[in-house]
A and B are shown apart, each in its own frame.
Chain A
Amino acid sequence: MKFLCVECDRQMTFGDRQLPGDGTLAATFKCPSCGRVVALLTNPMETQLVSSLGVEIGGRTVPAQPLETVRKMVSTGRDDAFVEGSREPGTGSTMTWSTGALERLDRVPNFVRGMVKRIYADYAKERGIAEITPAVMDTARSELGLEGM
Protein backbone atom coordinates (compact mmCIF):
# COMPACT_ATOMS: atom_id res chain seq x y z
CA MET A 1 0.00 0.00 0.00
CA LYS A 2 1.53 3.29 -1.12
CA PHE A 3 0.23 6.83 -1.42
CA LEU A 4 1.28 9.26 -4.11
CA CYS A 5 1.01 13.04 -3.89
CA VAL A 6 -0.08 13.57 -7.45
CA GLU A 7 0.67 17.26 -7.47
CA CYS A 8 4.27 16.78 -6.31
CA ASP A 9 4.69 13.34 -7.89
CA ARG A 10 6.24 12.18 -4.62
CA GLN A 11 5.54 9.05 -2.66
CA MET A 12 3.96 9.95 0.66
CA THR A 13 5.51 8.61 3.86
CA PHE A 14 3.70 6.74 6.61
CA GLY A 15 3.05 8.86 9.67
CA ASP A 16 0.77 7.49 12.33
CA ARG A 17 -1.66 4.65 12.96
CA GLN A 18 -4.65 4.63 15.27
CA LEU A 19 -7.07 1.88 16.26
CA PRO A 20 -9.84 3.72 18.08
CA GLY A 21 -11.47 0.48 19.20
CA ASP A 22 -14.60 0.59 17.08
CA GLY A 23 -13.21 -1.73 14.46
CA THR A 24 -11.96 1.07 12.26
CA LEU A 25 -8.37 2.01 11.52
CA ALA A 26 -6.80 5.37 10.71
CA ALA A 27 -3.36 5.82 9.19
CA THR A 28 -1.80 9.07 8.05
CA PHE A 29 0.59 9.67 5.19
CA LYS A 30 2.54 12.86 4.50
CA CYS A 31 4.02 14.26 1.32
CA PRO A 32 7.73 14.91 1.99
CA SER A 33 7.69 17.70 -0.56
CA CYS A 34 4.63 19.85 0.14
CA GLY A 35 3.78 18.52 3.60
CA ARG A 36 0.22 17.58 2.71
CA VAL A 37 -1.20 14.93 5.01
CA VAL A 38 -3.89 12.45 4.05
CA ALA A 39 -5.57 9.85 6.19
CA LEU A 40 -6.43 6.30 5.21
CA LEU A 41 -9.64 5.36 7.02
CA THR A 42 -10.79 1.77 6.87
CA ASN A 43 -14.19 0.46 7.85
CA PRO A 44 -14.49 -2.50 10.25
CA MET A 45 -14.74 -5.01 7.40
CA GLU A 46 -11.57 -3.75 5.77
CA THR A 47 -9.74 -3.61 9.09
CA GLN A 48 -10.82 -7.16 9.85
CA LEU A 49 -9.60 -8.43 6.51
CA VAL A 50 -6.13 -7.03 7.17
CA SER A 51 -6.14 -8.41 10.72
CA SER A 52 -7.15 -11.84 9.49
CA LEU A 53 -3.98 -12.02 7.43
CA GLY A 54 -1.86 -11.49 10.52
CA VAL A 55 -0.26 -8.35 9.10
CA GLU A 56 -0.22 -4.76 10.33
CA ILE A 57 -0.66 -1.59 8.34
CA GLY A 58 2.29 0.66 9.10
CA GLY A 59 4.51 -2.33 9.78
CA ARG A 60 5.21 -4.37 12.87
CA THR A 61 6.28 -2.62 16.05
CA VAL A 62 6.92 -5.84 17.97
CA PRO A 63 7.87 -9.28 16.68
CA ALA A 64 5.02 -11.65 15.94
CA GLN A 65 4.09 -13.67 19.02
CA PRO A 66 3.33 -17.41 18.90
CA LEU A 67 -0.29 -18.02 17.85
CA GLU A 68 -0.76 -14.27 17.82
CA THR A 69 -3.71 -14.15 15.45
CA VAL A 70 -5.47 -17.02 17.19
CA ARG A 71 -4.99 -15.51 20.63
CA LYS A 72 -5.98 -12.01 19.59
CA MET A 73 -8.93 -12.90 17.42
CA VAL A 74 -10.62 -16.07 18.73
CA SER A 75 -13.54 -15.04 20.91
CA THR A 76 -14.41 -18.50 22.25
CA GLY A 77 -11.04 -19.51 23.64
CA ARG A 78 -10.80 -21.34 26.95
CA ASP A 79 -9.40 -19.39 29.89
CA ASP A 80 -6.81 -22.00 30.75
CA ALA A 81 -5.59 -22.78 27.24
CA PHE A 82 -2.09 -21.50 27.89
CA VAL A 83 0.37 -21.35 30.74
CA GLU A 84 3.43 -19.17 30.93
CA GLY A 85 6.87 -20.60 30.46
CA SER A 86 7.95 -24.09 29.60
CA ARG A 87 7.40 -27.56 30.96
CA GLU A 88 11.07 -27.31 31.89
CA PRO A 89 11.38 -25.83 35.41
CA GLY A 90 13.10 -22.49 35.96
CA THR A 91 12.35 -21.01 32.56
CA GLY A 92 9.72 -18.46 33.57
CA SER A 93 10.04 -14.70 33.35
CA THR A 94 11.86 -12.90 36.16
CA MET A 95 10.46 -9.42 35.40
CA THR A 96 9.02 -7.52 38.35
CA TRP A 97 5.49 -6.14 38.06
CA SER A 98 4.01 -3.50 40.33
CA THR A 99 0.65 -4.15 41.96
CA GLY A 100 -1.00 -1.60 39.69
CA ALA A 101 0.49 -3.19 36.59
CA LEU A 102 -0.67 -6.64 37.67
CA GLU A 103 -4.16 -5.32 38.33
CA ARG A 104 -4.25 -3.89 34.84
CA LEU A 105 -2.93 -7.13 33.41
CA ASP A 106 -5.65 -9.05 35.25
CA ARG A 107 -8.23 -7.19 33.18
CA VAL A 108 -6.80 -8.70 29.99
CA PRO A 109 -8.65 -11.91 29.01
CA ASN A 110 -6.75 -15.03 30.03
CA PHE A 111 -6.63 -16.35 26.50
CA VAL A 112 -4.37 -13.50 25.38
CA ARG A 113 -2.89 -12.38 28.69
CA GLY A 114 0.36 -14.34 28.47
CA MET A 115 1.12 -12.86 25.08
CA VAL A 116 0.41 -9.31 26.22
CA LYS A 117 2.52 -9.85 29.32
CA ARG A 118 5.46 -11.00 27.25
CA ILE A 119 5.25 -7.99 24.94
CA TYR A 120 5.44 -5.62 27.92
CA ALA A 121 8.20 -7.67 29.54
CA ASP A 122 10.28 -7.63 26.35
CA TYR A 123 9.75 -3.88 26.06
CA ALA A 124 10.97 -3.33 29.62
CA LYS A 125 13.90 -5.74 29.28
CA GLU A 126 15.14 -4.10 26.10
CA ARG A 127 15.14 -0.70 27.84
CA GLY A 128 16.67 -1.87 31.10
CA ILE A 129 13.49 -1.15 33.07
CA ALA A 130 13.53 -3.12 36.32
CA GLU A 131 9.85 -2.91 37.21
CA ILE A 132 6.79 -2.69 35.01
CA THR A 133 4.30 -0.12 36.26
CA PRO A 134 1.10 1.27 34.73
CA ALA A 135 3.17 4.24 33.53
CA VAL A 136 5.57 1.90 31.73
CA MET A 137 2.62 0.13 30.17
CA ASP A 138 1.19 3.44 28.97
CA THR A 139 4.50 4.41 27.42
CA ALA A 140 4.86 1.02 25.76
CA ARG A 141 1.36 1.20 24.38
CA SER A 142 2.07 4.60 22.92
CA GLU A 143 5.51 3.77 21.53
CA LEU A 144 4.63 0.38 20.15
CA GLY A 145 1.13 1.19 19.00
CA LEU A 146 -0.40 -1.50 21.21
CA GLU A 147 -3.92 -0.23 20.95
CA GLY A 148 -6.30 -2.41 22.88
CA MET A 149 -3.58 -3.98 25.06
Chain B
Amino acid sequence: MRTYNQLTDPDRSGLLQQIITQRGRVAERLAGVRRIVAVMSGKGGVGKSYVTAHLARALARGGRQVGVLDADLNGPTMPRLLGIDHSPLPTPESGIEPATGADGVKCISMDLLLGDGQPLAFKGPVAESFVWRGAMEASALREFLGDVAWGDLDVLLLDLPPGMQRYIELCDILAAPPAVLTVTIPTLESRDAVRRAMRAALERGSELLGIVENMVGGGRQFTGTAADDLAKEFAVPVLARIPWHPTPDTWAALGAQL
Protein backbone atom coordinates (compact mmCIF):
# COMPACT_ATOMS: atom_id res chain seq x y z
CA MET B 1 0.00 0.00 0.00
CA ARG B 2 1.37 3.43 -0.93
CA THR B 3 1.89 6.03 1.78
CA TYR B 4 1.19 9.77 1.96
CA ASN B 5 4.28 11.05 0.21
CA GLN B 6 3.88 8.50 -2.54
CA LEU B 7 0.49 9.90 -3.54
CA THR B 8 1.27 12.65 -6.00
CA ASP B 9 -2.16 14.13 -6.69
CA PRO B 10 -2.72 17.40 -4.86
CA ASP B 11 -4.35 17.25 -1.45
CA ARG B 12 -7.62 19.14 -1.84
CA SER B 13 -7.62 20.24 1.79
CA GLY B 14 -4.08 21.51 1.44
CA LEU B 15 -3.76 21.91 5.19
CA LEU B 16 -0.01 22.40 4.97
CA GLN B 17 -0.47 24.97 2.23
CA GLN B 18 -3.06 26.75 4.33
CA ILE B 19 -0.56 26.98 7.18
CA ILE B 20 2.12 28.27 4.81
CA THR B 21 -0.33 30.86 3.50
CA GLN B 22 -1.00 31.99 7.06
CA ARG B 23 2.71 32.48 7.67
CA GLY B 24 3.02 34.38 4.41
CA ARG B 25 0.24 36.66 5.51
CA VAL B 26 2.11 37.48 8.71
CA ALA B 27 5.34 38.15 6.85
CA GLU B 28 3.56 40.40 4.37
CA ARG B 29 1.82 42.34 7.10
CA LEU B 30 5.02 42.90 9.05
CA ALA B 31 7.07 43.91 6.02
CA GLY B 32 6.73 47.53 7.09
CA VAL B 33 7.96 46.88 10.63
CA ARG B 34 11.65 47.64 11.01
CA ARG B 35 12.19 45.86 14.29
CA ILE B 36 10.25 43.37 16.40
CA VAL B 37 11.18 43.19 20.07
CA ALA B 38 9.72 40.68 22.50
CA VAL B 39 9.64 41.95 26.07
CA MET B 40 9.86 38.82 28.13
CA SER B 41 10.85 37.26 31.42
CA GLY B 42 10.60 33.78 32.76
CA LYS B 43 9.09 35.30 35.89
CA GLY B 44 5.67 36.74 36.53
CA GLY B 45 5.07 40.01 38.33
CA VAL B 46 8.30 41.72 37.38
CA GLY B 47 6.60 44.49 35.44
CA LYS B 48 6.96 43.44 31.80
CA SER B 49 3.78 45.19 30.72
CA TYR B 50 4.62 48.29 32.72
CA VAL B 51 8.07 48.46 31.15
CA THR B 52 6.66 47.74 27.69
CA ALA B 53 4.06 50.49 27.89
CA HIS B 54 6.41 53.17 29.18
CA LEU B 55 9.18 52.17 26.79
CA ALA B 56 6.71 52.36 23.90
CA ARG B 57 5.59 55.81 24.97
CA ALA B 58 9.16 57.02 25.36
CA LEU B 59 10.06 55.77 21.89
CA ALA B 60 6.97 57.44 20.44
CA ARG B 61 7.79 60.72 22.17
CA GLY B 62 11.21 60.43 20.58
CA GLY B 63 9.59 60.50 17.17
CA ARG B 64 9.39 56.81 16.36
CA GLN B 65 6.37 54.94 15.05
CA VAL B 66 5.61 52.34 17.71
CA GLY B 67 3.16 49.47 18.04
CA VAL B 68 2.48 47.18 20.99
CA LEU B 69 1.01 43.73 20.64
CA ASP B 70 -0.33 42.55 23.97
CA ALA B 71 0.55 38.87 23.75
CA ASP B 72 -0.76 38.18 27.24
CA LEU B 73 -4.05 36.86 25.91
CA ASN B 74 -5.34 35.68 29.26
CA GLY B 75 -4.26 38.65 31.36
CA PRO B 76 -4.21 41.61 29.00
CA THR B 77 -3.41 44.98 30.57
CA MET B 78 -1.92 47.08 27.79
CA PRO B 79 -4.98 49.20 26.95
CA ARG B 80 -5.20 50.47 30.51
CA LEU B 81 -1.46 51.17 30.63
CA LEU B 82 -1.67 53.09 27.36
CA GLY B 83 -4.88 54.91 28.23
CA ILE B 84 -6.96 53.22 25.53
CA ASP B 85 -10.72 52.99 25.89
CA HIS B 86 -12.94 50.29 24.44
CA SER B 87 -13.98 52.06 21.27
CA PRO B 88 -14.85 49.56 18.53
CA LEU B 89 -12.01 48.66 16.21
CA PRO B 90 -12.66 49.55 12.57
CA THR B 91 -12.56 46.63 10.16
CA PRO B 92 -11.72 47.84 6.66
CA GLU B 93 -10.77 45.27 4.04
CA SER B 94 -7.10 46.00 4.62
CA GLY B 95 -7.25 44.52 8.13
CA ILE B 96 -8.27 45.42 11.63
CA GLU B 97 -7.21 48.94 12.54
CA PRO B 98 -5.29 48.93 15.85
CA ALA B 99 -6.29 51.18 18.70
CA THR B 100 -4.17 54.24 19.36
CA GLY B 101 -3.03 55.05 22.86
CA ALA B 102 -0.98 57.65 24.68
CA ASP B 103 1.69 59.36 22.60
CA GLY B 104 0.28 57.72 19.46
CA VAL B 105 1.30 54.17 20.30
CA LYS B 106 -0.67 51.65 18.25
CA CYS B 107 -1.99 48.66 20.15
CA ILE B 108 -3.89 45.44 19.81
CA SER B 109 -4.93 43.50 22.87
CA MET B 110 -7.42 40.80 23.75
CA ASP B 111 -8.68 43.24 26.36
CA LEU B 112 -10.17 45.30 23.53
CA LEU B 113 -12.15 42.31 22.29
CA LEU B 114 -13.41 40.68 25.49
CA GLY B 115 -16.51 41.58 27.43
CA ASP B 116 -15.89 43.50 30.64
CA GLY B 117 -14.47 41.16 33.27
CA GLN B 118 -14.81 38.16 30.98
CA PRO B 119 -12.04 35.56 30.74
CA LEU B 120 -10.77 34.47 27.35
CA ALA B 121 -12.98 31.48 26.53
CA PHE B 122 -13.48 29.62 23.30
CA LYS B 123 -16.39 27.77 21.76
CA GLY B 124 -15.78 24.04 21.68
CA PRO B 125 -15.74 20.89 23.75
CA VAL B 126 -15.02 21.68 27.39
CA ALA B 127 -13.56 18.34 28.36
CA GLU B 128 -9.86 17.94 27.68
CA SER B 129 -9.71 21.46 26.31
CA PHE B 130 -5.99 21.57 26.93
CA VAL B 131 -5.65 19.50 23.76
CA TRP B 132 -6.71 22.40 21.54
CA ARG B 133 -6.57 25.54 23.66
CA GLY B 134 -2.87 26.14 23.08
CA ALA B 135 -3.35 25.90 19.33
CA MET B 136 -6.28 28.30 19.55
CA GLU B 137 -4.23 30.87 21.45
CA ALA B 138 -1.38 30.50 18.97
CA SER B 139 -3.87 31.20 16.17
CA ALA B 140 -5.09 34.30 17.97
CA LEU B 141 -1.49 35.48 18.31
CA ARG B 142 -0.90 34.82 14.61
CA GLU B 143 -3.98 36.82 13.70
CA PHE B 144 -2.90 39.72 15.91
CA LEU B 145 0.37 39.78 13.98
CA GLY B 146 -1.01 39.17 10.51
CA ASP B 147 -4.48 40.69 10.45
CA VAL B 148 -3.91 44.01 12.20
CA ALA B 149 -3.09 46.92 9.90
CA TRP B 150 0.12 47.90 11.65
CA GLY B 151 1.39 49.98 8.76
CA ASP B 152 4.96 51.22 8.86
CA LEU B 153 6.50 50.95 12.30
CA ASP B 154 9.98 51.58 13.60
CA VAL B 155 9.40 49.04 16.33
CA LEU B 156 6.71 46.58 17.32
CA LEU B 157 6.94 45.60 20.98
CA LEU B 158 5.48 42.25 21.95
CA ASP B 159 4.41 42.14 25.58
CA LEU B 160 4.71 38.50 26.54
CA PRO B 161 3.10 36.74 29.50
CA PRO B 162 5.28 34.92 32.03
CA GLY B 163 6.86 31.69 30.90
CA MET B 164 8.17 30.54 27.57
CA GLN B 165 5.15 29.23 25.69
CA ARG B 166 4.19 32.43 23.92
CA TYR B 167 7.78 33.12 22.91
CA ILE B 168 8.05 29.69 21.31
CA GLU B 169 4.79 30.26 19.44
CA LEU B 170 6.16 33.57 18.18
CA CYS B 171 9.28 31.88 16.87
CA ASP B 172 7.09 29.45 14.96
CA ILE B 173 4.89 32.19 13.51
CA LEU B 174 7.46 34.84 12.64
CA ALA B 175 9.89 34.51 9.78
CA ALA B 176 12.77 35.01 12.24
CA PRO B 177 12.97 34.89 16.03
CA PRO B 178 12.26 38.30 17.58
CA ALA B 179 14.90 40.27 19.40
CA VAL B 180 14.42 39.91 23.14
CA LEU B 181 14.43 42.53 25.88
CA THR B 182 14.50 40.84 29.26
CA VAL B 183 12.87 42.23 32.38
CA THR B 184 13.77 41.06 35.86
CA ILE B 185 13.60 42.29 39.41
CA PRO B 186 16.75 42.17 41.56
CA THR B 187 15.96 38.98 43.46
CA LEU B 188 17.78 35.71 42.96
CA GLU B 189 14.47 33.92 42.53
CA SER B 190 13.76 36.13 39.56
CA ARG B 191 17.27 35.64 38.25
CA ASP B 192 16.90 31.89 38.25
CA ALA B 193 13.61 31.98 36.36
CA VAL B 194 14.77 34.62 33.89
CA ARG B 195 17.95 32.72 33.20
CA ARG B 196 15.98 29.80 31.82
CA ALA B 197 14.01 32.10 29.57
CA MET B 198 17.13 33.81 28.27
CA ARG B 199 18.75 30.46 27.64
CA ALA B 200 15.74 29.32 25.64
CA ALA B 201 15.71 32.55 23.65
CA LEU B 202 19.39 32.19 22.87
CA GLU B 203 18.92 28.60 21.76
CA ARG B 204 16.09 29.68 19.46
CA GLY B 205 18.35 32.24 17.83
CA SER B 206 17.00 35.47 19.28
CA GLU B 207 19.23 38.47 19.71
CA LEU B 208 19.40 39.33 23.41
CA LEU B 209 19.24 43.11 23.56
CA GLY B 210 19.84 43.42 27.25
CA ILE B 211 18.29 43.49 30.66
CA VAL B 212 15.95 45.90 32.38
CA GLU B 213 16.02 45.58 36.14
CA ASN B 214 12.72 46.78 37.52
CA MET B 215 11.59 47.73 41.06
CA VAL B 216 15.07 48.76 42.14
CA GLY B 217 15.86 50.65 45.33
CA GLY B 218 13.13 52.39 47.25
CA GLY B 219 12.57 50.63 50.54
CA ARG B 220 14.72 47.78 49.29
CA GLN B 221 11.72 45.51 49.06
CA PHE B 222 13.56 43.46 46.48
CA THR B 223 17.25 42.90 46.90
CA GLY B 224 19.75 40.92 44.90
CA THR B 225 22.06 40.97 41.92
CA ALA B 226 19.87 39.44 39.24
CA ALA B 227 20.60 41.94 36.49
CA ASP B 228 24.35 41.96 37.00
CA ASP B 229 24.51 38.18 37.27
CA LEU B 230 22.51 37.69 34.07
CA ALA B 231 24.40 40.40 32.21
CA LYS B 232 27.68 38.73 33.02
CA GLU B 233 26.46 35.24 32.22
CA PHE B 234 24.97 36.19 28.84
CA ALA B 235 27.40 38.99 27.97
CA VAL B 236 24.63 41.52 27.49
CA PRO B 237 24.22 45.03 28.93
CA VAL B 238 22.02 46.12 31.78
CA LEU B 239 20.08 48.70 29.81
CA ALA B 240 18.26 50.26 32.73
CA ARG B 241 17.57 49.99 36.41
CA ILE B 242 14.07 51.23 36.93
CA PRO B 243 13.35 52.71 40.36
CA TRP B 244 9.98 52.49 42.07
CA HIS B 245 9.06 55.95 40.92
CA PRO B 246 10.62 56.42 37.49
CA THR B 247 10.46 59.71 35.63
CA PRO B 248 9.98 60.25 31.89
CA ASP B 249 13.74 60.66 31.68
CA THR B 250 14.19 57.13 33.00
CA TRP B 251 12.20 55.75 30.08
CA ALA B 252 13.76 58.09 27.55
CA ALA B 253 17.20 56.85 28.58
CA LEU B 254 16.08 53.26 28.07
CA GLY B 255 14.50 54.07 24.73
CA ALA B 256 17.64 55.76 23.55
CA GLN B 257 19.48 52.45 23.84
CA LEU B 258 17.17 50.53 21.55
Q: List A residues at the B interface (Cβ < 8 Å).
A: 1-2, 4, 6, 9, 11, 13-14, 23, 44-45, 48-60, 64, 66-70, 72-88, 91, 111, 114-115, 118
Contact = CB atoms under 8 A, between A and B. Distances in A.
A82 B139 contact: no
B28 interface: no
B118 A83 contact: no
A117 B92 CA distance: 12
Contacts of B123: 72-75
Nearest to A27: B13
B125 A23 contact: yes
B48 interface: no
Contacts of A67: 96, 143-144, 147
B91 A1 contact: no
Contacts of A69: 136, 139-140, 143
A66 B11 contact: no
A55 B11 CA distance: 14
Given A74-B114, A74-B120, A75-B122, A11 B9 contact: yes
Interface string B75-101: 000000000001011111111110000
B86 A78 contact: yes
A118 to B, nearest CB: 8
Nearest to A49: B132
A13 B9 CA distance: 9
A56 B124 contact: no
Contact of A83 (B88, B119, B121, B132): B88
Given A59-B13, A59-B14, A75-B122, A52 B132 contact: yes
Given A51-B132, A59-B18, A84-B91, 4 more contacts: A59-B14, A74-B120, A85-B91, A111-B113
Interface of B: 1-2, 4, 7-9, 11-15, 18-19, 21-22, 25, 86, 88-97, 112-116, 118-125, 128, 131-133, 135-136, 139-140, 142-144, 147-148
A6 B1 contact: yes
A88 B86 CA distance: 19
Contacts, number: 156
Given A48-B125, A60-B18, A70-B143, A80 B88 contact: yes
Nearest to B136: A52
Given A49-B135, A70-B140, A4 B1 contact: yes
13 contacts: A1-B11, A4-B1, A6-B1, A44-B125, A49-B131, A49-B135, A51-B132, A54-B139, A57-B15, A59-B13, A74-B121, A78-B113, A78-B115
Contacts of B116: 78
Nearest to A23: B125
Contacts of B90: 82-87
A53 B91 contact: no
A122 to B, nearest CB: 9
Contact of B96 (A4, A55, A66, A111): A66
A45 B22 CA distance: 23
B23 to A, nearest CB: 11
B88 to A, nearest CB: 4
A87 B88 CA distance: 10
Given A2-B11, A76-B115, A53 B135 contact: yes
Contact of B139 (A23, A53, A78, A83): A53
A88 B123 CA distance: 33
B11 to A, nearest CB: 5
A76 B119 contact: yes
B114 A82 contact: no
A64 B92 CA distance: 14
A11 B190 CA distance: 56
Given A1-B13, A4-B7, A114-B91, A81 B112 contact: yes
